[in-house]
Amino acid sequence: MRSGQPDNHNSRNNQELALINKTYESIASAVEGITDGSTIMVGGFGTAGMPSELIDGLIATGARDLTIISNNAGNGEIGLAALLMAGSVRKVVCSFPRQSDSYVFDELYRAGKIELEVVPQGNLAERIRAAGSGIGAFFSPTGYGTLLAEGKETREIDGRMYVLEMPLHADFALIKAHKGDRWGNLTYRKAARNFGPIMAMAAKTAIAQVDQVVELGELDPEHIITPGIFVQRVVAVTGAAASSIANAV
């Protein structure tokens, strides 16, 4: 660019960036468009980082025949367990379906009312990451020689046997973050981070509930874990948004 010459291209780009606003006023509007048969990733490690308000909003949509990808299969009767109780889920893909308070899933599974695909936790994380990174497939030694490897390609590499694992894609990801801005940049708090960053990458539409929406520039770039390019919707769960979902469910 010559000195004194206006850069119209950069000016136009800056104007477009200034107009980006991924924030939603309510939980109900944030989950709009989730339809029957959707594949949905749900963040959380047990109850840590579980996007409970988004799940409540999903229940309120009445969507059915869902495939859920998560680490667990629900605790007690809240969050993911509530979604199972509502009869919304056809299949669960997870690494740890059973625990002391997973009785909702246990009863549905024993009654043949829900399908289960068990994936070792490391493989689960890597299959999600592979989807978000554009990796077509990868070989893992985990699960070789067990029922988990049945029907999958195996290969010996440098004297060790591996199982071919495919990436896990999703239509939507429901995740929980600590702070977010209108461009979709996210920070997390401690263990609530868990699968959130890679799920946001692997889904067509990532929906993040946050404790607080902050102004652009307020988040330290060195602290941003999930860049806004991977997030399509951000909703605060305090104030009006929380009241909206409480009235809807």
- The answer to whether position 159 is within a domain reads no
Question: For position 3, what pLDDT does the model report?
Answer: 44
Question: For position 2, what pLDDT does the model report?
Answer: 40
DSSP-derived secondary structure letter, 191: G
Instruction: Decide if pLDDT at 231 tops 70.
Output: yes
Q: What is the mean pLDDT of residues 52-61?
A: 98
Q: What is the mean pLDDT of residues 160-164?
A: 98
- More confident position, 100 or 204: 204
Q: How many structural domains are present in the chain?
A: 1
CA distances from 123 to 50, 94, 128, 137 (A): 20, 10, 8, 11
- More confident position, 74 or 16: 74
Question: For position 11, what pLDDT does the model report?
Answer: 59
Q: What is the mean pLDDT of residues 152-162?
A: 98
Assign 230 to helix, strand or coil.
Answer: helix
- The answer to whether position 242 is within a domain reads yes
- The answer to whether position 108 is within a domain reads yes
Closest C-alpha to 75, from 54, 89, 96, 60: 96
Q: What range does the domain containing 57 cover?
A: 28-136+169-248
Assign 51 to helix, strand or coil.
Answer: coil
- The answer to whether position 8 is within a domain reads no
The 10s digit of each residue's pLDDT in 62-102 is 999 999 999 999 989 999 999 999 999 999 999 999 888 89
Instruction: Decide if pLDDT at 14 tops 50.
Output: yes
CATH of the domain at 178: 3.40.1080.10
- The answer to whether position 67 is within a domain reads yes
Encoding tokens for residue 75? 């605790």
- The answer to whether position 16 is within a domain reads no
Instruction: Decide if pLDDT at 249 tops 50.
Output: no
Q: Point out the least confidently predicted range of 79-93, 125-139, 194-208, 232-246.
A: 232-246
Q: What is the mean pLDDT of residues 24-46?
A: 97
The per-residue pLDDT of the chain, averaged, comes to: 91
DSSP-derived secondary structure letter, 27: H
Question: For position 15, what pLDDT does the model report?
Answer: 60
